[in-house]
Structure 1
Amino acid sequence: MRLDPKLNEYIQRERALERSSACCVRNDNSGCIQSTECLDKFAKFVKWPGNDAPDFKNGTTITVRTSGSVCGQDPRYCRSQHEVGTADQWPDDITKWPICSDPLPKEDFKNSTYENVRCNVVGHPCCIGQEARCEIVTKEYCKYKHGVYHSEATLCSQVNCMQDTCGLIPFRVADKPDQIYRLWLPVMLHAGILHCLVSVVFQMTVLRDMEKLAGWLRIGIIYIFSGITGNFASAIFLPYRAEVGPAGSHFGILACLFVEVLQSWQLLKSPLRALFKLVAITTVLFVFGALPWIDNFAHIFGFISGLLLSFVLLPYITFNRFDRHRKRIQVVTCSALFIGLLTALFFFYYIHPITDCSVCRYINCIPFNEDFCSNHGFRPEDRT
C-alpha cells in the first residue's frame, strides 16, 4: 500500500551495487553470470571500459561506456539502439537499461567477439521472499527458494520484485505500491481450514446474535471498519509480516457486547456479572494475542474501533431527558474519536511512518527465548 522507507533504502542500496557489477565469464566456458566480484583464477571479469566497451553519445561528445558490461545484453546487439539520437540511447548506467525487445539473431551472439555477449548466460533475476529481494541465480536455485524467475531479464533493475511479492492487481506506477484494497481484503481471507472454522463458529454464535439485535447494516459497518482499523494498525506496527483473517472485526464485535451491557445497564438483572465475564474473556484473548502467529495489534485496534462505532451505531434506550442528552453527546464524541483514530493511523502510515518501535514487538509477542517470535517476518536491518 506504500513504498516502505526501510525496504526502499535497501532496494536502492542493492541497485547501487548492481550499478558497479559486470559480466563474470567462467574460464571453463560453462557460462557467465552478472556479479559484483569475480575470482580471477576461475573466471574473467569483463568490466567496462577496459574490455571492448561500446560507444556512448554524451551530447556532441562520443566516449566509451563505463557502466557494465551486462551478460547477454549489449547496445550493439539491440536493433533499437542502432543509429539513435542521444535522447533515445540507453544511459551509461546499467540499472536504467530496459529489456531489449528486438535483439539481433542468436547466431550473431554466438559469433560475437565480445565475451559478455558470446557467453551462455546461466543466471537471471529471481525475486525471493516477501522482502522483494532480487538475486541473479539459476532457474533451479530460484525454484528451490520458491522465488519468481525472470528469464527474459538480465538485471535486477529490469524486474519489479515488489510487484511479484505483493501480487494481485499490478501497480499503476512501477515500484510504487498502491494496493489500498489490502486494508479490507484480509478480512475475507484465512490462513487455513482451522482458521476459517474458528471464524465461522464466532460468526454463527456471537455475530449472529448481534445481527439479530442491531440489524445487519449496523453490525456490517462495525465488522468491516473494525477489520480495516485493525489491519491499518497491523501494517504500521508489523510492516514485514503477512496478515490474513478477520481478527480485528471479531474484536470489534466483542466490543459491541461491552457497549450493549453498558447501554442496557438498568435492564439487566446482574450487569456487573455480565461485565466481569466479558472482561475476563477479553483479557484471556489479549494474553493469547502475545503468542506467535497471532496479531495483537489487530485485536487491540479492532476492539477500540468496535467500541467507538458501537456507541455511535447501536440502538439504545433512554430512561429520562438527561440520559437522552448524555447519549447524544456520546454519539458525537465517539464519532469524532473514531475519525481521529483513522486520521492518526493514516498519518503514521503514509505521512510520518513509524520505522523503529522496539516496545511494539513486546505488545504483539513476548520473546520467552530467541526464536519464540521469529515468525514476525524479516528485519530490514538484517538484509544483506
Structure 2
Amino acid sequence: VYLLIPIRPSPRPVVPPLVYSEFGDDDELSPQWTSWLIPMFVVANVIVFFATMSVNNCPQHSQHCVARFLGRFSFEHLRDNPLFGPSSQTLEKLGSLDWFRVVEKHQAWRLLTCIWLHAGVIHLAINMLSIVFIGTRLEQQFGFVRIGVIYVMSGMGGSILSSLFIRNDISVGASGALFGLLGSMLSELLTNWTIYSNKIAAFLTLLFVIVINMGIGSLPYVDNFAHVGGFLTGFFLGFLLMARPQIKWLERQHIPQGRRLTSKYKPYQYILWLLSLALLIAGFVVALVLLFKGEDGNDHCHWCRYLSCIPTSRWSCDSV
C-alpha cells in the first residue's frame, strides 16, 4: 500500500537581520583589510622628525641645547621650544606652512609638506598615537585607498584654511589630517545611520571627543584653523567615500528574484553624496582663489579668529 504523503516545500531559511555595531567592527559581511598605510604614515612622520633634528643640529649654533648627549639630535632650549624639538628656522627651511612663502614666494608645496613636520617630540607623540588609534580601525574597515585620500586631502584642507587666517606664524603638524579622520568618522556614522545599533551612544561619544579636541585647539599657539579645515574636509569626504550599502542589498541573495533591489544605497545617501561633492569642490576652489589673491580671511570673518584662540586674563591672542 502506497501512502500519499503531501510534500511541503522547504521553508525559506530565516536570515537574522544584519545590524552593524556602533562603528561597524562586528560586521562580518564587510571586507576587512590589513592596516599598513597608517603605520607607514607614522613611520614616515618619525623619519621626517629625525631628519629635521639632524638638519637642526642644535650644538652647531647654540650652547644651551637640551640633552646634548644626543649630539646633532639634541633639542633647542625649552625657552625657545618647550616641545623638545628643532628651531622655527629649521622648520621654516624644511617646509613649514608660512603664508608669505606660500602666496608671495609661490611655494604652494608647503600646503602638503607642513603636515609631515612636527614641532617636537611631544607634538609628534600626541599626533601619532591619535592617528594610530583612529586611523587603524578606519583603514581596516574601508581600505588604504579611501583612508589615504581622506588623510592627505584633510591635511591639505587644514593647511589652506590656516593660511587664509594666520599670516604671522608658521604652522606644522598632522593635526589637520587627524581631524579629517575624526570628521570622516562622524559623516560615516550619519550616512550609515539606519544600519547601526547603539547609534545615539556612538554619536554622542564621537561628538564629545570632537568638541574636547576643538576646545583644546582654542589655546594659544595651537592652529585650530588647521583642525577645522581638516575636519570639514574629512567630514565631506566621509559622505563621498564611506557610504555602506543598505542591509537589504547585502541580503539580496535571500530575496526572491522578483523582489530584488535595484538600488545599492538609500536615496538620502545619494543626496548627501551630491551635496558633499558640491560643497567640497566649491570650498576648495573658493579658498584657493582667495588665498592666492592675497585675501585675509579675518577681513571677511571678524569673529573667526576666536576659533583658534580665545583670549583670557592669562593669555592674549595678538599673534593670531
Q: How far apart are 1:371 and its partner, in Å?
A: 4.3
Aligned with 1:311 (options 224, 239, 257): 239
Equivalent residues in 2 for 1:324-363 (5 A)?
324-351=266-293, 353-354=295-296, 356-357=298-299, 358-363=302-307
Tell me the equivalent position of 2:317: 373
Tell me the equivalent position of 2:308: 364
CA distance 1:166–1:331, change in 2 (3 Å): same
Which one has a bigger Cα radius of gyration? 1
Gaps of 5+ in 2: 1-61, 63-88, 96-102, 248-260
Q: How far apart are 1:318 and its partner, in Å?
A: 2.1
Gaps of 5+ in 1: 1-142, 144-162, 170-174, 377-384
Tell me the equivalent position of 2:121: 193
Equivalent residues in 2 for 1:1-384 (5 A)?
167=93, 176-319=104-247, 321=263, 323-351=265-293, 353-354=295-296, 356-357=298-299, 358-369=302-313, 371-374=315-318, 376=320
TM-score normalised by structure 1 residue count: 0.50
Please identify which structure carries the higher strand content: 1
Per-residue CA deviation, residues 278-306 of structure 1 (Å, 9 max, x unaligned), is: 11111111111111121111111111110
CA distance 1:355–1:322, change in 2 (3 Å): closer
Q: What CA distance in whole angstroms lies between the structure 2 residues aligned with 1:313 and 1:341?
A: 18
Aligned CA RMSD, in angstroms, stands at 3.0
TM-score normalised by structure 2 residue count: 0.60
Q: What CA distance in whole angstroms lies between the structure 2 residues aligned with 1:231 and 1:224?
A: 11
Q: What CA distance in whole angstroms lies between the structure 2 residues aligned with 1:344 and 1:176?
A: 18
SS of the aligned residue for 2:244 comes to coil
Count of equivalent residues: 213
Please identify which structure carries the higher helix content: 2
Q: What percentage of residue pairs aligned between the two structures are identical? A: 28
Residues 214 and 315 in structure 1, CA contact (< 8 A), matched pair in contact too: no
Q: What CA distance in whole angstroms lies between the structure 2 residues aligned with 1:325 and 1:232?
A: 32
Q: Which amino acid aligns with 1:195?
A: H
Q: Which amino acid aligns with 1:210?
A: L
Q: What CA distance in whole angstroms lies between the structure 2 residues aligned with 1:265 and 1:176?
A: 45
Residues 222 and 249 in structure 1, CA contact (< 8 A), matched pair in contact too: yes
Residues 227 and 249 in structure 1, CA contact (< 8 A), matched pair in contact too: yes
CA distance 1:265–1:371, change in 2 (3 Å): closer
Q: How far apart are 1:186 and its partner, in Å?
A: 1.1
